[in-house]
Amino acid sequence: MTIKILLADDHKIIREGLSALLEKEPDLEVIAEAATGTEAVKLGLELNPDVIVMDISMPDMNGIDATREISLNCPAVRILALTMESDRRFVVEILKAGATGYLLKDSAFSELATAIRTVYSGETYLSSKVTEVIIKEYLKRIPSVESLSCKELTVRERELLQLIAVGKNPKEIAFAFAVSLKTIENQRHSIMKKLNLFSIAELTKYAVREGLTSLN
């Protein structure tokens, strides 16, 4: 099975270079080239290629809009972005538009061939550099600590929670910590308030979930 490819890039030298390299692959065939986003849409709809290798920055119509138009009218066509743009916004926008792959132009040709075969098979392909960009951006956007976390507890409170979770009663815990029973009760209420939990069973589940103890 030969994979039919449309190359969309406004630089002729890049199109010719990629075409020459792709034609050396026995299962890859370049059937057309486009210099603008508008040409990419026109040829994509007319020729119905298996994969379109799409640049983002092109005159007339950018690669994101072209991808959106092609995906809307020819959903079976797979689109692989090949660009110099590594900014998260470009990655997200063209994937939302319908692309199933994103590769930077400084990648090796062997990776391009792999990416084409990957998106053709129905899977998503992101180069390692692009994946790193997305992960870093995602981590930045994770809320600091709105959710329950064991970090909200002091060391003593975590120790107390662990003993509660393994079934120790307040008297046993007070003896282990060499403090009064009232102190243990106060600390337990403090833990419940911090974690917004209301029973020993809930405290135990929380301790298991946070790795303070196990069910064994």
Query: Domain ranges in the chain?
Result: 3-141, 150-209
Contact predicate 63/56, CB 8 Å? yes
Across the chain, mean pLDDT equals: 88
| 148 or 212: which leads in pLDDT | 212
At 145, the pLDDT band (50, 70, 90 cuts) reads very low
| pLDDT tens digits for range 35-56 | 999 999 999 999 999 999 999 9
pLDDT reported for residue 65: 94
Q: Is 150-209 in CATH node 1.10.10.10?
A: yes
Kind of pairing, strands 3-8 and 28-34? parallel
pLDDT reported for residue 45: 96
**What value does the mean pLDDT take over residues 91-100?**
92
At 59, the pLDDT band (50, 70, 90 cuts) reads confident
pLDDT reported for residue 216: 53
| pLDDT tens digits for range 149-182 | 555 788 888 888 888 888 889 899 988 888 999 9
Total Cβ atoms within 10 A of residue 79: 29
Asked if the domains at 3-141 and 150-209 fall in one CATH topology, the answer is: no
pLDDT reported for residue 151: 55
At 144, the pLDDT band (50, 70, 90 cuts) reads very low
Residue type, 208: V
Q: Which homologous superfamily does the CATH classification assign to the domain defined by 3-141?
A: Response regulator (3.40.50.2300)
Q: What's the order of all strands across the beta sheet hosting 51-54?
A: 28-34, 3-8, 51-54, 78-83, 101-104, 125-126
**What value does the mean pLDDT take over residues 7-16?**
95
